[in-house]
A and B are shown apart, each in its own frame.
Chain A
Amino acid sequence: DVKVTQSSRYLVKRTGEKVFLECVQDMDHENMFWYRQDPGLGLRLIYFSYDVKMKEKGDIPEGYSVSREKKERFSLILESASTNQTSMYLCAGHQGNEKLFFGSGTQLSVL
């Protein structure tokens, strides 16, 4: 199975700060995804990447960007954090089909 590791379990940031959420997978697979999880809304896709230096917008990309400099690492960037970006962020990796493996999540609070 793909092992996906998110570097921070909890983060507290100030409005306007630039925030980096880091994700690393331990398998040599191309596909990585960032979702945010909110109560009553389920998981919504922010960005995904099929290869190094490649990125595609998901359903809710506004206010976010991503970086994929190496195959195993996929970073989510909040250019200027806002309170409505307080959420649980989940990174996921792909095992060559649709079977997603998720990290444990980063609970981000923007004050």
Chain B
Amino acid sequence: GENVEQHPSTLSVQEGDSAVIKCTYSDSASNYFPWYKQELGKGPQLIIDIRSNVGEKKDQRIAVTLNKTAKHFSLHITETQPEDSAVYFCAASPGAQKLVFGQGTRLTINP
């Protein structure tokens, strides 16, 4: 079945700098790749997603890139702010409307 690996497990950046989180997946049939943000005491919330027919997608300070050949995708956050501090999860959909999640990255923005 699908396996998703996410790195790093923790990431600390200065406010205003950029943050990058990377994921790899194993199943070439996966065609949908969302990113979720989980704040303390809350459930994960979808922040951006990309489908396999697109190489890059951007939404204000957040962007996701996908390399289907290498089976990896990345989340890029620019001009980081304190409210970006959270746990981020990547996921891949191997079909049947299911998602397989990565291990999560705890992002800390230092003022």
Contact = CB atoms under 8 A, between A and B. Distances in A.
B43 interface: yes
Interface string B71-111: 00000000000000000010101000111111110000000
A35 B98 CA distance: 11
Given A31-B97, A42-B6, A100 B46 contact: yes
Given A31-B97, A97-B97, A98-B97, A42 B103 contact: yes
Given A42-B102, A100-B46, 19 more contacts: A40-B9, A40-B103, A40-B104, A42-B4, A42-B6, A44-B101, A48-B98, A50-B97, A59-B100, A92-B43, A98-B49, A100-B34, A100-B36, A100-B99, A102-B44, A102-B45, A104-B41, A105-B42, A105-B43
Interface of B: 1, 4, 6, 9, 32, 34, 36, 41-46, 49, 89, 91, 93, 97-104
